[in-house]
Amino acid sequence: ESVEGGVHPSSLGGLGAPSPDPPRNKAKSGAKALYEQRKNFSRSSINSLTDTSQYQVEHLTTFVLDRKDGMITVDDGVRRLRLLDAKGKVWTQEMLLQVEDKAVSLIDLDLQNELENFPIGSVQHCQAVMNACSYDSILALVCKDSGQSKADLHLFQCDDIKANLIHLDVESAMIDAKGGKVKKRPETLK
């Protein structure tokens, strides 16, 4: 009679039997489904019908390209990013970067609403900067709308799909937008 608490096993009324616990199993399968969705989501989800690709990225910062501030090239921006990072002043935000034939847009991860839209004609330059600082896979986008006097430099850290691959996607969309009979982008997406 060394059963703890003096309760005899047989007096548990069969509760000790390993009966399946429906609510928990249900929650588990729900979580698994969600995990699978997220896994597929975080991979580059490319919709072959519309050639829309989405990449999970972290927006690091946006600089205005201005000669007065010594901010002329992507390298200048990365240098400034390193300084901000050293001071702990980089405030990142996770989002989706969506590339289509006609535009590059930034989409909120949770609400799925569009944060910003850059028509492909406003994207002046796209560059991947690998292993330059603690952010080791940076995508740089230089965008200037017709209403802007100075271009913006947007910097993103790309972990899931590396910046050099996203760069190829954006670049092919830029080339296709400029014309040319054979579209480059479908091949790039493959």
pLDDT, tens digit, 9 for 90 and up, residues 28-74:
567 777 776 665 555 445 565 568 899 999 999 999 999 999 999 99
So what's the pLDDT on residue 12?
Answer: 46
Domains present along the chain, CATH in parentheses: 53-178 (2.30.29.30)
Sorted by sequence, the CB contacts under 8 Å of residue 153 that are 6+ apart come out as: 62, 63, 64, 65, 71, 74, 77, 140, 141, 142
| Centroid of chain to Cα 185 | 20
Residue 66 DSSP one-character state: B
22 or 150, which is more confident: 150
Mean pLDDT score of the chain, rounded to an integer? 83
> Are 141 and 170 spatial neighbours (Cβ–Cβ below 8 Å)?
yes
Between 13-17, 62-66, 85-89, 186-190, the lowest mean confidence (pLDDT) is in 13-17
Q: Which residue matches tokens 């054979």?
A: 182
